[in-house]
Amino acid sequence: MEEELLLDLDKREKALIFHTGGVSKWYNTPMSIADEIRKLDTLRQEGTITDAEFERAKQSLLAAPILPSAPIPPSAPIPPSAPMGGLFGSVEEWCKNWCKRENIWATALHLSPLLGYLIPVAGLVAPVVLWQMKKESPRIDAHGRAVMNWILSQIILWGISAVLCLFLVDIPMIWVMGILVVVFPIVGAVHAYEGRVWSYPLCFRFFREM
C-alpha cells in the first residue's frame, strides 16, 4: 500500500514537472512529498523512528497544503536588430541624406529660371551659379546641363518668335512659349525631387546630357 502511494505521488510529480517545462511550480520546498515519505520510510526501516511516528509524519505530509511557488518571470524580450547596424547602417543613412539634399538642390536648379519674372537677368544667372556650385556632383551636373540646354533653346525660340511676329504669323507661338517657359521648369523640378533627370523637349542639346 505504501509503495503504491509513493509510486502514485512520484508519477504525479513527474507529470507536473514535464508539463511545466522541467520545473515543478506546485511545491514550495526543495524536496517533494514522495521523497520526504521515502526518507521517513528509510528511517523506520533502520529503526530510527517507530511505525507510529512514521504514520504521524506521513499523514502530516499528506495533509499539508500544496502551495504554488512564485511564477518564474519571463525573460526580457530581445529587441529586434536593425536591418543594417554599425558602420553599414551609418553609411546607408548618410547616403540617403546626401541623395535627398542633392534632390532638393536639383529641384531649386530647375525652378531658378522662374526668378527672371521677379528680378531681371536672375533667371539666367541663378541657374548658372547653382550649377557651378555643385558641378562636381554627377547628378547635379546632369540636371544643370538639362536646364542650360532649355534656357539657351528658349532664347533662340523667343528670337525666332519675335522675328516671325514682324510678319504677323507667329502670334500663336508666342502664347505657346509663354506657357512652356513656366510649365517645363515645374515638370523638371518634380522629376528632380524624385531623383530623376528630365530631358526638356523642344530644345537643342548644346550640352550632352548624361
User: What is the per-residue pLDDT across 190-208, written as a single tens digit (0 to 9) for each?
Assistant: 999 998 999 999 888 888 8
pLDDT of residue 99: 74
Q: For the chain, which residues make up each domain, given as ranges?
A: 2-63, 86-193
By residue count, the chain amounts to 210
Which spans in the chain are helix H? 2-19, 33-45, 51-63, 86-111, 122-133, 138-165, 171-193
pTM: 0.51
Phi, psi (deg, nearest 5) at residue 31? -110, 135
Closest to 142 measured CA to CA, from 180, 100, 186, 102: 102
| pLDDT, position 120 | 83
| Tens-digit pLDDT profile for residues 34-43 | 777 788 788 7
- Sign of dihedral through CA atoms 115, 116, 118, 120? positive
Q: Cell numbers for 82, please give them.
A: 536593425
User: Per-residue pLDDT tens for 131-181?
Assistant: 999 888 888 999 999 999 999 999 998 888 888 777 766 567 788 888 999
Torsion of CA 24, 27, 30, 36, to 10 degrees: -120
Decide if pLDDT at 92 tops 80. Answer: no
Q: What percent of the chain has pLDDT over 90?
A: 27
The C-alpha atoms of residue 206 and residue 201 are separated, in whole angstroms, by 13
Query: Whose grid coordinates read 554627377?
Result: 138
